[in-house]
Amino acid sequence: ADGELVQYHYGLKDLVTILFYIFIAIILHAVVQEYALDKINRRLHLSKVKHSKFNESGQLVAFHLTSVIWCLYVVVTEGYISNPRSLWENYPHVYLPFQVKFFYLCQLAYWLHALPELYFQKVRKEEIPRQLRCIALYLVHIAGAYLLNLTRLGLILLLLQYLAEFFFHMARLVYFTDENNEKLFNVWAVVFVVTRLFTLTLYILVIGFGLPRVENQALDPERGNFFSFLFNNILFRMSVLLLVCLFQASVMWRFIHFQLRRWREYWNEQSSRKRAAAGAKQQAKPLKRDSGYHENGVVKAENGTSPRTKKLKSP
């Protein structure tokens, strides 16, 4: 009927929908590769290692940019940003608007399509464990938020994560085209730190203050209430917050270590360039000639006599 709001729940039919969009994602992946990345690669003449990383970053830039715009549109139109209390109010959020459900299904389809793409793209064996770990982490978190009815919180976290990832892979693309241009890495560093702080604040707000105040605190899997009753226990709540803080601290430590190593390499490179320039400048200085003039390669004094000292003959 006119004005009736239709909402959706998850079920087994989602698997068929995800399978369909896996094929769509494979086609879109091939289109981006054929009409954009391959043409740029032919102009840049990159090595095999850089060629593989360039393709990876190029695909992820297109995906992250699309996801950031799409996710931002969803959270704004649904009012999750203007009303932060909606992230935990009326939990569990069993019934979803169409655009929220469709977004999650497409996200799952994309990261599942990345598994066969490892074979199609002929990814090097050394890179496969890292990419499998990344794909598994995204699938676990997205599917967990979808099945545990934490879709609103998951949308905000994905928005923050994809924003930082977009700047990182964009910086890599710029670096591959011009190795002296690392300014975008500094922008990514700032965005990464800001998104980590927002993520930690959001965890504390939802887990520490939001979910413990939910009216329905009883375990009720049929209604989708899986663990809100656990957050009523202050010991469990503090343990979860401690684990979250430790995880974010480990991420920040790895980030700081990476930045220090990058800056150390940068300053070593700059100092080596300065030493090379100083050595070339010193070699370019003109050699001092002896007083007098040259004639046929022989130095003669101004009065015509040879500047060499004459040996006295013994009598």
What are residue 294's DSSP bridge partners? 299
More confident residue, 202 or 315: 202
- CA 21 to CA 105: how far, in whole Å? 8
Structural domain contains residue 306: no
- Whether pLDDT at 115 is above 70: yes
Instruction: Quote the pLDDT of residue 217.
Output: 60
- CA 51 to CA 41: how far, in whole Å? 7
More confident residue, 284 or 170: 170
- CA 224 to CA 245: how far, in whole Å? 27
- Give me the number of domains the chain comprises: 1
| 215 closest CA partner among 232, 235, 203 | 232
Contacts of residue 145, defined as CB under 8 A and 6 or more positions apart, other chains included, come to: 104, 151, 153, 154, 157
| 162 closest CA partner among 64, 292, 82 | 64
Backbone phi and psi for residue 39, each to the nearest 5 degrees, phi listed first:
-65, -40
Structural domain contains residue 279: no
Instruction: Quote the pLDDT of residue 167.
Output: 95
Confidence of residue 43 (pLDDT cuts 50, 70, 90): confident
Structural domain contains residue 309: no
- Whether pLDDT at 134 is above 60: yes
| 105 closest CA partner among 81, 76, 74, 77 | 74
Q: What's the mean pLDDT in 118-127?
A: 84
- Whether pLDDT at 305 is above 60: no
Amino acid residing at 190: V
Structural domain contains residue 73: yes
Confidence of residue 168 (pLDDT cuts 50, 70, 90): very high
Structure-token match 């499998």, residue found: 132
Structural domain contains residue 301: no
- Whether pLDDT at 315 is above 50: no
Amino acid residing at 278: A
Percent of the chain with pLDDT over 90: 41
Q: What is the pLDDT of residues 15-27, one digit of tens each?
A: 999 999 999 999 9
Q: What's the mean pLDDT in 177-191?
A: 85
Instruction: Quote the pLDDT of residue 13.
Output: 93
- CA 103 to CA 158: how far, in whole Å? 11
Structural domain contains residue 48: yes
- Domain with 167, as residue range(s), is 7-272
SS3 content of the chain, % helix, strand, coil (to 5): 70, 5, 25
Structure-token match 């975008």, residue found: 184
Instruction: Quote the pLDDT of residue 124.
Output: 83
Structure tokens at 110: 């994309």
Structure tokens at 199: 């993520």
Average pLDDT value for the chain: 83
Instruction: Quote the pLDDT of residue 285.
Output: 61
Structure tokens at 114: 């990345």
Confidence of residue 30 (pLDDT cuts 50, 70, 90): very high
Please give the model's pTM, rounded to 2 decimal places: 0.81
Cβ-contact 172, 262 below 8 angstroms: no
Percent of the chain with pLDDT over 70: 83
- CA 47 to CA 49: how far, in whole Å? 6
Backbone phi and psi for residue 80, each to the nearest 5 degrees, phi listed first:
-75, -25
Q: What is the pLDDT of residues 190-228, one digit of tens each?
A: 999 999 999 999 988 888 787 777 766 666 666 666 666
Confidence of residue 49 (pLDDT cuts 50, 70, 90): confident
Structural domain contains residue 310: no
